[in-house]
Chain A
Amino acid sequence: MSEDWPLYEVFVRARSGLEHKHVGSLHAADARMAIEHARDVYTRRQEGVSLWVVPSAQIIASDPQEAEALFEPARDKVYRHPTFYAIPDEVKNL
């Protein structure tokens, strides 16, 4: 190939009502071909009702090295969960 086709990330919506989920990637010359290839590569068994393709170069990802700085602060904020609050059993509908 004189010219590499760009990489696209593929997202599939399994059923209406569900979110699109990342399933993998593929190469295509353009967006339309990416959709057509995604259909052949990732939905041969009715795995989806809708496809998204995104140029991989356009994805901005968080850095695993910074995972702690990003996500650690949420760890000690257990009061964000309903189970943090003790409510007597006799209180209903809460």
Chain B
Amino acid sequence: MYTQGLDAQGREPEAPAGGAAAERFQARVDAEEKIEPKDWMPEAYRQTLIRQISQHAHSEIVGMLPEGNWITRAPSLRRKAVLMAKVQDEGGHGMYLYSAAETLGIGREEMVGQLLSGAAKYSSIFNYPTLTWADVGAIGWLVDGAAIMNQIPLCRCSYGPYARAMVRICKEESFHQRQGFEIMMTLARGTQAQREMAQDALNRWWWPSIMMFGPSDADSPHTAQSMRWKIKRFSNDELRQKFIDVTVPQAHFLGLAIPDAQLHLDEASGHYRIGAIDWSEFHAVLRGNGPCNRERLAARRAAHENGAWVREAAAAHARKLKERAAAAAAA
């Protein structure tokens, strides 16, 4: 899971330095060659990628929390097995991404430290609570759906390790979206109470999902540079529109109503047009004032601190084995 718009946070990347090396670099990018870890790259390209990939990784890790909340209460053994597999995948996605970021010269500890201190961002969608079982369905259908929309173009990102991690992630993500839609379908075809639960989940997750694509293009100052570097292939608004166009008919199929009175099909263009997005909410959540910001970080910090003794014990065990092997070799 991931949101566009993480590239819009943090410091403004410096203008890429000129010079022959920079020109050769841009020529390689223009020719669709992949940039690999040991290749020369502009410092701003490196920093942009470190920020984007690490925040993408953090999003996967924090993203385990809202869904993990429902594992013990999944309505059947099948649903529970599926949800555990999905949450485990999210953890795996975080691992692929951390290791891709590490190829750029940042350490794992430093990245984890940035998440736990609150210095790094993660996708603001995970600061919303999962109040009912239908939310697990809505997350898979909408949040993972939006993530897929954004992640598929990232498979062609100019930075090799990031692109390869994304290929792996996209292969696994499709199951996430389909299991979510299946949950929504089951509820939508169920009792009146189940239909209402599904509608309520859609009502709460629709706008946050739409906002996952990040600020509108007019407010995305980094988009042009990221596109020149072929980190980003489509603008936030282009991806948002694609998502709306594929998702509205799916809601119709479910017999659920999109919570937007102004939503309509523009016959001329064939696109669904939505009403105005409330960006003040997006910025409030980003600033740390969403419903669960503090709870999510507290959960990550607790997990990190409570796991410290395991990491220390494993390191001590490894050290002991190494010393024994050395002693045996010397004897």
Interface presence of A3 (CB below 8 A): yes
Minimum CB–CB distance for B312 against chain A, Å: 6
- Choose one: A25, A41, A63; the contact of B102 (CB below 8 Å): A25
Contact status B89-A25, CB under 8 Å: no
| Contacts A29-B314, A63-B38 supplied; 17 other A-B pairs, CB < 8 Å | A1-B109, A1-B311, A2-B312, A3-B311, A4-B108, A4-B109, A5-B311, A7-B99, A29-B317, A30-B314, A30-B318, A30-B322, A33-B314, A41-B92, A64-B36, A64-B39, A64-B40
Contact status B99-A44, CB under 8 Å: no
Interface presence of B184 (CB below 8 A): no
A window 4-33: CB within 8 A of B: 4-5, 7, 23-27, 29-30, 33
Interface presence of B277 (CB below 8 A): no
B window 86-138: CB within 8 A of A: 88-89, 92, 95-96, 99-100, 102, 107-109
Contact status A44-B38, CB under 8 Å: no
- Choose one: A2, A4, A26; the contact of B107 (CB below 8 Å): A4
Contact status A41-B315, CB under 8 Å: no
Contact status A3-B312, CB under 8 Å: yes
Minimum CB–CB distance for B101 against chain A, Å: 11
How would residues 45 to 77 of chain A score, 1 for a CB under 8 Å from any chain B CB and 0 otherwise?
A: 100000000000000010110000000000000
B window 137-152: CB within 8 A of A: none
How would residues 176 to 218 of chain B score, 1 for a CB under 8 Å from any chain A CB and 0 otherwise?
A: 0000000000000000000000000000000000000000000
Contacts of B107 in A (CB 8 A): 4
- Choose one: A5, A24, A33; the contact of B99 (CB below 8 Å): A24
Contact status A7-B314, CB under 8 Å: no
Contact status B92-A40, CB under 8 Å: yes
Name the interface size band of chain A.
20 to 34
Contact status A44-B312, CB under 8 Å: no
Contacts of A40 in B (CB 8 A): 88, 92
- Choose one: A2, A27, A30, A64; the contact of B321 (CB below 8 Å): A30
Contact status A44-B92, CB under 8 Å: yes
> Which A residues are within 8 Å of any B CB, using their own CB?
1-5, 7, 23-27, 29-30, 33, 40-41, 44-45, 61, 63-64
Contact status A24-B165, CB under 8 Å: yes
Interface presence of B81 (CB below 8 A): no
Contact status B102-A7, CB under 8 Å: yes
Interface presence of B308 (CB below 8 A): yes
Contact status B95-A3, CB under 8 Å: no
Provide a sorted-by-A list of 8 A–B residue pairs whose CB atoms are within 8 angstroms: A1-B311, A3-B311, A5-B311, A7-B99, A29-B314, A40-B88, A41-B92, A64-B38
Minimum CB–CB distance for A63 against chain B, Å: 7
Report the separation of the CA atoms of residues A33 and B315 in the bound assembly, to the nearest whole angstrom.
11
Contact status B308-A1, CB under 8 Å: yes
Contacts of B43 in A (CB 8 A): none
Closest Cβ neighbor of A2 among chain B residues: B312
Contacts of B96 in A (CB 8 A): 24, 41
Closest Cβ neighbor of A67 among chain B residues: B39
Contacts of A5 in B (CB 8 A): 311, 314-315, 318
How would residues 156 to 171 of chain B score, 1 for a CB under 8 Å from any chain A CB and 0 otherwise?
A: 0000000011001000
